[in-house]
């Protein structure tokens, strides 16, 4: 029913290889998925530290095999270990945990729910989503909402952006009267901006490839929008630079920082790069008075965050398990409903055929006789196959099936009263009847 392919921050080594590969795939992934005939619906989630494909199918094995071939084609041999495939309840459970923030680098982070919503909406616009995935994605978003309203999982430093601001505060002691540059204006940069509110920085510069986006984010902070071509000038006047762009290559290089630091040699500069792939060249860390941190530096905050949220994680997992159990019960009921539908169709056909015969006979035969024959015919036709299968099951030692049939017909109590003494009594009665016939 559901088969999904995953490559996430948990399966990748520090997420670096994941983000080296996925951005290069582009629309090729969607085209490859679309060409698999067994895939009826699909949603692709592609974020800075997560790549997932959820599919609806009537042939799990074929889709699993298709994913295996896709991995071999798209992922170099030494990076295939970062991928894995899930099916049915495991896949649905993973989606639920993703939306709740339980599978995130920063436990409880909020951005992933928005990212899943966007991916789902895009799939709907493209026509790649039908009833099955719509049902499960809507349920996942509902579970995420429930976790956020019934637990404190998303309280505190629950995102990469907020953790970056927390790390900067720890490093600098305070952000009060500090000059800050933000490179980027996407989801993570927006979270950074929101977490800077109330920190009382002296000035905030926002630079982005799309200048209008930079202007919008700067207005939230009462800051200044800077064209990307002038980002180095903004950094020159800053105590802190927070980098969160989606560029596939470094936007801050060694020569950039060397130049700006030559004009402020005694003033320290803290750079925190939360982009994936990294957007600040590693050799920048070698420059005097420059400290460079990245996502690896946030691991300690992430672990502290997870430890603080153990109780909330436990409560959130309980909610996820409850919802999965509910889905499982619904699926069982749907299975029963499908059997009932097929049986009903079969009985309706049988009834229609016998009724046609009865109507034809009623023109020449006593109505009471017609009704009697009709009722007998219906009972015989309905039970013939059941009785035959019951006898076959009994001959083959299938006591479980015999018991199930007795339960379905509501006669299990009568059957349980059918003891060895009952069988002996029936045998005696038969022998007595034979003896009476012989004597007469």
User: Domain containing 125: what range?
Assistant: 2-154
Dist. CA 96–CA 319, nearest whole Å:
10
| Position 344 in a domain | no
Residues 380 and 395 in one domain: yes
Percentage, residues of the chain above pLDDT 70: 88
pLDDT tops 80 at residue 365 = yes
pLDDT tops 80 at residue 16 = no
Contact present, 4 and 63 (Cβ < 8 Å):
no
| Position 235 in a domain | yes
Q: What is the CATH number of the domain that holds 172?
A: 3.40.50.720
pLDDT tops 80 at residue 293 = yes
Range of weakest confidence among 71-80, 121-130, 156-165, 174-183: 71-80
Contact present, 169 and 188 (Cβ < 8 Å):
no
pLDDT tops 60 at residue 123 = yes
pTM for the full model? 0.66
Dist. CA 192–CA 357, nearest whole Å:
79
Residues 82 and 44 in one domain: yes
Range of weakest confidence among 1-10, 228-237, 276-285, 347-356: 1-10
pLDDT, tens digit, for every residue of 188-208? 899 899 889 989 999 999 999
pLDDT tops 80 at residue 238 = yes
Contact present, 305 and 156 (Cβ < 8 Å):
yes
Beta strand pairing call for 179-183 and 240-243: parallel
Contact present, 118 and 295 (Cβ < 8 Å):
no
- The residues assigned a catalytic role are 48
pLDDT tops 50 at residue 14 = no
pLDDT tops 90 at residue 412 = no
Residues 9 and 77 in one domain: yes
Number of domains in the chain: 3
Q: What does the pLDDT read at residue 15?
A: 46
Helix (H) or strand (E) holding 415: helix 412-416
Dist. CA 162–CA 6, nearest whole Å:
26
Residues 59 and 191 in one domain: no
Neighbours of 31 (CB within 10 A): 9
Q: What does the pLDDT read at residue 111?
A: 81
Residues 86 and 223 in one domain: no
Say which residue the tokens 């309706």 belong to: 348
Residues 106 and 138 in one domain: yes
| Position 168 in a domain | yes
């Amino acid at each position: 029913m559901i088969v999904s392919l995953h490559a996430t921050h948990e399966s990748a080594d520090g997420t670096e290889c994941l983000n080296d590969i996925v951005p290069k795939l582009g629309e090729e992934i969607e085209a490859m998925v679309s060409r698999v005939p067994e895939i009826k619906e699909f949603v692709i989630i592609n974020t800075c530290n997560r790549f997932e494909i959820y599919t609806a199918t009537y042939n799990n094995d074929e889709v699993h095999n298709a994913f295996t071939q896709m991995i071999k084609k798209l992922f170099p041999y030494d990076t295939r270990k970062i991928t894995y495939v899930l099916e049915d309840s495991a896949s649905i459970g993973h989606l639920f945990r993703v939306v709740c923030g339980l599978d995130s680098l920063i436990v409880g982070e909020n951005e992933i729910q928005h990212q899943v919503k966007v991916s789902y909406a895009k799939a709907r616009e493209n026509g790649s989503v039908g009833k099955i995935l719509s049902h499960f994605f809507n349920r996942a978003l509902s579970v995420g909402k429930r976790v956020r309203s019934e637990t404190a999982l998303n309280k505190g430093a629950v995102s990469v952006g907020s953790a970056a601001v927390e790390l900067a505060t720890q490093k600098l002691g305070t952000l009060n009267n500090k000059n800050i540059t933000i490179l980027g204006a996407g989801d993570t940069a927006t979270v950074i901006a929101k977490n800077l509110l109330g920190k009382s920085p002296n000035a905030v510069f926002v630079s982005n490839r799309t200048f209008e986006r930079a202007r919008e984010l700067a207005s939230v902070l009462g800051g200044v929008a800077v064209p990307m071509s002038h980002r180095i000038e903004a950094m020159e006047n800053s105590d802190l630079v927070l980098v969160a762009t989606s560029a596939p290559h470094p936007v801050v290089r060694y020569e950039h920082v060397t130049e700006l630091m030559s004009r402020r040699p005694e003033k320290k500069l803290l750079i925190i790069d939360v982009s994936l792939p990294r957007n600040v060249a590693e050799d920048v860390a070698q420059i005097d008075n420059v400290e460079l941190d990245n996502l690896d530096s946030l691991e300690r905050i992430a672990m502290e965050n997870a430890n603080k949220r153990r109780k909330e994680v436990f409560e959130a997992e309980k909610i996820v398990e409850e919802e999965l159990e509910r889905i499982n019960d619904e699926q069982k009921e749907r299975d029963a409903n499908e059997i009932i539908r097929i049986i009903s169709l079969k009985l309706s056909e049988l009834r229609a055929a016998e009724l046609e015969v009865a109507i034809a006979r009623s023109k020449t035969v006593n109505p009471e006789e017609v009704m009697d024959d009709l009722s007998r015919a219906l009972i015989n036709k309905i039970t013939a196959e059941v009785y035959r299968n019951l006898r076959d099951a009994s001959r083959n030692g299938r006591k479980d099936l015999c018991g199930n049939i007795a339960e379905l017909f509501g006669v299990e109590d009568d059957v349980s009263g059918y003891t060895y003494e009952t069988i002996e009594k029936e045998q005696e009665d038969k022998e007595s009847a034979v003896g009476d016939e012989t004597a007469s």
